[in-house]
Amino acid sequence: MAVGIIDLFHVLSYKGMPDFLISNQGANRATTFWIISGLLIGLGFFISGFIRQDKKKLIPRSFFSIIPIAIGIISLIIATYYPMMFPPMYIEGEGLTDIKVNLEYFIIILLFASIIKYYHEYRKTKDNLVALLINAFILRIFSELAFTLYDSVYDIYNYLGHVYKAVFTFVIFRVIFIYNVQKPYVELSNAQVELKRYIENLDWLVEQRTRELNLINQKLMDDLEYARDIQLALLPTSFPIMPEVSFDARYFPAERIGGDFYNIFRIDEEHIGMYIGDVSGHGVPAAMLTVFLNQNIHPTRELVKGKIEIISPSEVLTNVYDSFNKTNFKDDVYVVMLYAVYNIRTKIFTYSSAGLNVAPLLFRNFGGIDELKISGFPICKFIEYYTPGYENQSIKLNSGDEILFYTDGLTEAKNQHGERFSLDNIQLIYSKYGHTIGMPSKMLIEEILRFTDGCKFDDDITFFLMHVN
């Protein structure tokens, strides 16, 4: 938190930025903030290597929020109004001072010491997250080295140093995110093993250990709720608003964390991108796959001279397939999905499928119902045996047409007699309430809840509607 606050001051006081308390004509103040932030990074991680993870303290967490806020405010006041209290870090027309360069080397030494400390921990635990953290330290060392070489705050070394820092920050986020999602499962597993051992030897410990397990289980449920909030944050909270087309969507996970995903987004003034899919399994592993997919679906690429090109749906799926095969996911993990681009000017809808097992339904304004043609190979770890060729399909839409995109959880919802919610039910609902955006979604959900009558969903239910206005 302290580093984040001071880095914010570093950005706001960067040479050339609008005035922040005082004029930003010089680079010394921003450079001073950079050094303070770097020292906190180096000292913080070095000290953290000596803190036992199982050590308990009675001091409330809220107390520690006071410390970084105080550090940030004090640093801001001194660097802004009493800069003579800090030695100069950058002199206009001359460049970096010796004290600044030496402090960069001191930060590098601290990071090297942190690497050594965490490497010893990795040798004992073989924890891949510790190895990932070590790689983050190496990236930060490259960043600090770059900041010992620049003469101007706008030259290539300064730029390169910021790039390394951005990657370092992302890796740190990955370590914290994975650690907080996986840790509850590890703790629950260890608690279950210990409970079994005590039951076999001392029956009187059952009640005591059961209470402890309940507490751990409650903590797990709380952490799963947190992971669910993170996953829901990846789903769109709003849709593109434009007169030519409207959208409506619903999402119901079968468990606290689901395996379905979708997104609807504007690519440019004429094109809207959208996708829907399903990953194998449920729970946290499936949620991790949805995070991966959201990070690896790229609708555009930059050409020479800053020109942006929209990537075709088939090529987007090919890129996702290639990226998926470079990961460490298990071989039995796979994804089925459909990606599409709609041109609001020409009303051409272009899509490509990667093994989606339910065809979207096209409801024509004149009353016809068509199933979109889908094919394609699922996203899976199979590239050494087969390279799929994803194909683009295009259709011309008319005003009043509507497309229902959904996953197989919709048609596989069962009632108490084991009967499944069929396509006939969907078509019947649409014949009554179609062509009024929002109404089909509402009635579809009401009909599913009436049909299942309290039965638990076996799979996630996800769907969205696109209505051509």
Please tell me whether residues 251 and 386 are part of one structural domain: yes
Instruction: Please check whether residue 8 lies inside any domain of the structure.
Output: yes
- Nearest of 356, 312, 358, 361 to residue 338 by alpha carbon: 356
Here the CATH number for the domain that contains residue 447 is: 3.60.40.10
Considering the domain architecture, whether residues 164 and 253 belong to the same structural domain is answered as no
**86 assigned to some structural domain:** yes
Residues 342 and 394: their CA atoms lie apart, in Å, by: 10
- Same domain as 246, residue 155: no
Which residue among 153, 179, 205 closes a domain? Answer: 179
Whether residues 163 and 243 fall in one domain? no
Look at residue 182 in the predicted model and tell me its pLDDT: 66
Share of the chain above pLDDT 70, in %: 90
Residue 47 forms part of a structural domain: yes
226 within domain boundaries: no
Q: How confident is the model at residue 16 (pLDDT cuts 50, 70, 90)?
A: confident
* Within a domain: 100: yes
Q: Please, which residues bridge with residue 41 across strands?
A: none
Residue 196 lies in a domain: no
C-alpha triplet 337, 181, 227: angle, nearest 5°: 60
Q: Which of 462, 374, 444, 403 shows the shortest CA–CA distance to 272?
A: 403
| Residue 231 lies inside a defined structural domain of this protein | no
Confidence at residue 136, expressed as pLDDT on a 0 to 100 scale: 87
Pick from 163, 179, 195: which residue ends a domain?
179
Q: What are residue 271's DSSP bridge partners?
A: 343
Residues 48, 122, single domain; the answer is yes
Same domain, 145 and 245: no
- The Cα 463–Cα 402 span in angstroms is 13
Q: Are residues 162 and 305 in the same domain?
A: no
Percent of the chain scored above 90 by pLDDT? 25
Tell me the two tokens of residue 446.
């009401």
pLDDT digits (tens, 9 = 90+) for 224-248: 676 667 667 778 888 998 999 999 8
C-alpha closest to that of 263 among 234, 285, 231: 234
Whether residues 327 and 411 fall in one domain: yes
More confident residue, 430 or 81: 81
**Structural domains counted in the chain:** 2
Q: How far apart are CA 429 and CA 338, in angstroms?
A: 24
User: Given the structure tokens 């009675």, which residue do they identify?
Assistant: 58
Cβ proximity of 345 and 398 under 8 Å:
no
- Taking the C-alpha atoms of residue 165 and residue 169, their distance in angstroms, rounded to an integer, is 6
In the chain, the amino acid numbered 359 is: A
Residue 119 lies in a domain: yes
CA Rg, the chain, in Å?
A: 28
Q: What pLDDT was estimated at residue 120?
A: 87
CA–CA separation, 445 vs 461, rounded Å? 10
Q: Which of 158, 179, 200 is a domain's end point?
A: 179
Q: Which one, of 132, 146, 206, lies nearest residue 176 by Cα?
A: 132
CA distance 464 to 249: 4
Q: Are residues 277 and 371 in the same domain?
A: yes
Q: Give Cα separations from 226 to 189, 295, 322, 387, 442 (angstroms).
A: 19, 20, 31, 38, 28
Q: 95-96 and 260-266 as β-strands: parallel, antiparallel, unpaired?
A: unpaired
Q: Specify the pLDDT at position 255.
A: 66
CA-CA-CA-CA dihedral for 22, 25, 31, 37, to nearest 10: 40
Residues 31, 33, 36, 38, CA torsion sign: negative
User: Per mean pLDDT, which range of 27-41, 211-225, 302-316 is the poorest?
Assistant: 211-225
Which carries the bigger pLDDT value, residue 404 or residue 448? 404
250 and 167 in a common domain: no
The rounded distance, in Å, linking the Cα atoms of 326 and 195 is: 39
| Residue 56, domain extent | 2-179
Mean pLDDT of the chain: 84
Statement: residue 270 has pLDDT above 60: yes
Residues 127 and 49 occupy one common structural domain: yes
Same domain membership, residue 292 and residue 158: no
